[in-house]
Amino acid sequence: SFSRYLSALCAIGKWLLETSLSECKRVEGDTELMEGVDWRNDAIAQILQCSDAMNGDYWLVSGTGGQEAANASQALASMLAPLYGPYCLCRVQMSCLEEHFMVKEEADLDEIREEISAFGLEEEMASAASLGRLNVIASMTTLSGMFQQCMPKLMALFDSAGSGSEMSPEIAALLEEARMLLLCAGHLLTDDCVGETPSIPESVIHACQPGSGIDNDA
């Protein structure tokens, strides 16, 4: 059934992400030493593209397809959208580990590899945003919790900036954590509007309506 399919996608996605994070921790952020990273990244990309395609299916998400479509939309929100939290957590932690390693070893990616990596991350995050928008409230709650854990450490760093602290691997990892969280939030709540009039995504507008579960006075 459709529900079992979504549940399997979510379970496999979580396993892939957790396995990659565990492997990244094993090599202490040296991604060149990670085993099986390429096929796991490809598999995650395929799952995210599936969610992107389903989120773009008007019949599934518009609420105009009758009870069957409503049930399918609910299944997406309850069975596939929960993958968004583990995705953000694992990707942020892996980026922090990699940044810690790079600064510790005084290593740098060459310009071409860095551009390829940045482009791949943008594509992946755009697809992940579609996943997150299947349940905007839950996704925003996830990111909010991650920001609340990051901000005290970031504010403490800013307060101590006047003491002339040098860039350490720990500071670099913290700044990378903040950067990745901002990227996640930006992709979730906005769309690329090059050549178009900027607008708030419909799923975000709908989630912020009165009665949606979001405190609109906050």
With a cut of 70, say whether residue 96 has pLDDT above it.
yes
> What are the structure tokens assigned to 144, written together?
């909010």
pLDDT, position 57: 76
29 or 71: which carries more pLDDT confidence?
29
Give the mean pLDDT of the chain. 84
* Cα 161 from Cα 1, distance rounded (Å): 55
Residue type, 201: P
DSSP 8-state secondary structure symbol assigned to residue 160: T
pLDDT at 94: 95
pLDDT value at position 40?
Answer: 94
For the chain, percent of residues with pLDDT exceeding 70: 83
The SS3 call for residue 64 is coil
Would you say residue 97 has pLDDT above 50? Answer: yes
> At 216, is the pLDDT very low, low, confident or very high (cuts 50, 70, 90)?
very low
Region 150-162: mean pLDDT is 86
